Amino acid sequence: KRPHTCAKCGKSFSKTQELKKHQQTHTAARPFSCRQCGRRFRLKKFLVPHQKLHSGEKPFGCTDCGKRFAQKHNLLMHRQMHTGEKPFACGHCGHRFRQKYRLVSHQRIHTGERPFACAFCPKAFRDKHALTIHEWVHTREHPFYCAHCPKAFRNKYTLTIHQRVHTGERPFACAHCPKAFRNNKALSNHQWVHTGEKPYKCAECGKAYSQKQHVKRHQRVH
């Protein structure tokens, strides 16, 4: 049952919150404005991290390497890179993670669960972060600016990875060989070459692959 209907286009939603999100695609409401550059945002939580790009404020420092961060949770994630700690293990394949939410999201690869539905289209996602990024496709929001070039991004993680193109930083080193990578996902995919792990299976024939793009390419055969 979807009792909440958009007066503009007739699309219906089960929750009032979903309807309000959808209506912003028609109104393009962005009430929060940056005083430095005039860029406008739909929510205040997007404006605040954007403003730190102008101020350069990074109050949280790593005691091991001195690298500084604008937000505490980014520092905590960075610290685990030094310790190598990965306390959360997948019961299906044994893959380990630094954060519990990454484990939960990963396990949905095995179960096929996609509990986070887009308010604007039929797509659904394994985690809330992926949903948020996707919904910016509808709202056309790119709140994270690169300090080195004009590019802007939908989330801070993608911005951080992009900035390493400029800095040359490759902080994720392989434990089995001299290779290093710009992000943890690229490192994880690479390490499967050493471990032989193949977590991505074809639903049609069961053939397994170490990388998602390889199973997608294979599925075109079917």
Task: Give the number of other CB atoms < 10 A from CB of residue 154.
Answer: 19
What is the C-alpha separation between 127 and 86, in angstroms, rounded?
Answer: 20
Domain extent for 23: 1-30
Give the pLDDT of the chain (222 residues) as one tens digit per residue: 677 777 766 777 788 888 877 776 665 567 788 887 777 777 788 788 778 767 778 888 999 888 888 777 778 878 887 887 888 899 999 898 888 888 988 999 999 999 888 888 888 998 887 887 788 778 777 778 888 887 888 777 788 889 998 988 898 898 889 999 988 888 888 888 888 888 888 888 889 888 788 888 888 887
Q: Is residue 139 part of a domain?
A: no
Q: Is residue 78 part of a domain?
A: no
65 Cα distance to chain centroid: 25
Q: Is residue 13 part of a domain?
A: yes
Number of domains in the chain: 1
What is the C-alpha separation between 103 and 90, in angstroms, rounded?
Answer: 6
Q: Is residue 43 part of a domain?
A: no
Give the domain CATH number at 19.
Answer: 3.30.160.60
Phi, psi of 35 (to 5 degrees): -70, -25
Note the pLDDT of residue 84: 79
Here the tokens at position 191 are 């390490």
What is the C-alpha separation between 94 and 125, in angstroms, rounded?
Answer: 23
pTM: 0.38
Q: Is residue 65 part of a domain?
A: no
First to last CA, the chain: 36
* Phi-psi region at 66: left, alpha or beta (left = phi > 0; alpha = psi -120 to 50): left
- Strands 60-61 and 40-41, sheet pairing: unpaired
Q: Is residue 93 part of a domain?
A: no
Q: Is residue 183 part of a domain?
A: no
Please check whether residue 37 is in contact with residue 129, taking contact to mean a CB–CB distance below 8 angstroms. no
